[in-house]
């Protein structure tokens, strides 16, 4: 199994969940230190490989795929989890505003395409690709237009690839998490509070009040969804964007 963005947040929880099931893991991240800490913490280090890889770099991704192919690796599960999240207000006067906007599209969508293309020759029939979207891929929010657009694009990509890869017997689905207590989510919450001139605690209470089950989820709370989508039990599912949000977004 190949997992991107493995060093923190949801990625770290997924690494632990799949390791507990005995999966052989190839963990990717841009930060070497976080990968090393994660590998040391996993219960089955003999089944864990790590690689520092910038998914925005064609050469690095191509080299990774070539190394895996030379090792005779098979990618039964690919989880495209890596991504970025930061505000991009449309009226920003920052000189790099458009570069930041385009950067989110590249980090959250184009890099996903780049890696999936590179690893496709290593995926057998029955393989499962799981793309990380968000509930903001099903709705909208002020000041985060680039992130929201990227997560909508992930769902569109997922649905298109589900048709495109069906002939190879490869399933493609997306997961749309709601508010998960990760560093990235908490930074977004802080940004929203700053933009609105309110406290973070107040913003959090308001966000959670929109949920049927009002609680901030932990990364480990949603790991079972990915385990299911990777399993043979999910064989009939492809092209789906599964929302995991304590009922904040339904459907």
Task: For residue range 71-80, list pLDDT tens digits in order.
Answer: 999 999 999 9
Q: Determine whether domain 2-181+217-244 maps to CATH 3.40.190.10.
A: no
Q: Decide if 147 is catalytic.
A: yes
What DSSP letter does each residue of the chain carry, written as one string? -EESSTTSHHHHHHHHHHHHTT--EEEEES-HHHHHHHHHHSS-GGGEEEEE--TT-HHHHHHHHHHHHHTT---SEEEE---------TT---TTHHHHHHHHHIIIIIHHHHHHHHHGGGPPTT-EEEEE--GGGSS--TT-HHHHHHHHHHHHHHHHHHHHTGGGT-EEEEEEE-SB-SHHHHHHHHHHHHHHT--HHHHHHHHHHTSSS--PBPGGGGHHHHHHHHSGGGTT--S-EEEESTTSS--
pLDDT confidence tier of residue 243, bands split at 50, 70 and 90: very high
Digit-coded pLDDT (tens) for 3-40: 999 999 999 999 999 999 999 999 999 999 999 999 99
Catalytically annotated residue among 147, 154, 234, 244: 147
What is the reported pLDDT for 45?
Answer: 66
pLDDT of 228 over the 80 cut: yes
Return the percentage of the chain with pLDDT > 90, whole number: 92
**Band of residue 184 on the pLDDT scale cut at 50, 70, 90:** confident
> At residue 185, does pLDDT exceed 90?
no
User: What average pLDDT does the chain have?
Assistant: 95
Residue 195 pLDDT level (bands cut at 50, 70, 90)? confident
Residues 6 or more apart whose Cβ sits within 8 Å of residue 14? 3, 6, 79, 81, 219, 223, 226
Note if the pTM is more than 0.75. yes
Domain boundaries, the chain: 2-181+217-244
Per-residue pLDDT for 159 more than 80? yes
- C-alpha distance across the termini of the chain, in Å: 28
For the segment 202-210, the average pLDDT, to the nearest whole number, is: 93
Q: Is the pLDDT of residue 100 over 80?
A: yes
- What pLDDT digit, counting tens, does each position of 63-73 carry? 999 999 999 99
């Amino acid at each position: 199994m190949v997992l991107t963005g493995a060093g923190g947040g949801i990625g770290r929880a997924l690494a632990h969940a799949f390791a507990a099931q005995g999966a052989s893991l190839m963990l990717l991240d841009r930060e070497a230190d976080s990968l090393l800490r994660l590998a040391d913490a996993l219960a089955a280090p003999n089944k864990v490989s790590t690689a520092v890889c910038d998914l925005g770099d064609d050469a690095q991704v191509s080299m990774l795929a070539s190394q895996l192919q030379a090792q005779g690796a098979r990618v039964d599960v690919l989880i495209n989890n890596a991504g970025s999240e930061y505000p991009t207000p449309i009226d920003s006067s920052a000189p790099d505003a458009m570069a930041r906007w385009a950067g989110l599209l590249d980090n959250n969508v184009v890099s996903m395409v780049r890696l999936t293309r590179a690893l496709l020759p290593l995926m057998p029939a029955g393989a499962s690709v799981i793309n990380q979207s968000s509930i903001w891929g099903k709705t909208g929010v002020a000041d985060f237009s680039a992130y929201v657009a990227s997560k909508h694009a992930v769902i569109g990509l997922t649905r298109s690839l589900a048709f495109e890869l069906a002939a190879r017997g490869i399933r493609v689905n997306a997961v749309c998490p709601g508010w998960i207590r990760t560093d990235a989510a908490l930074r977004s919450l802080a940004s929203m509070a700053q933009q609105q001139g309110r406290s973070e605690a107040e913003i959090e209470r308001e966000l959670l009040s929109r949920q049927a089950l009002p609680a901030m989820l932990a990364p480990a709370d949603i790991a079972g969804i990915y385990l299911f989508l990777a399993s043979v039990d999910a064989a009939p599912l492809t092209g789906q964007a599964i929302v995991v949000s304590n009922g904040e977004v339904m459907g």
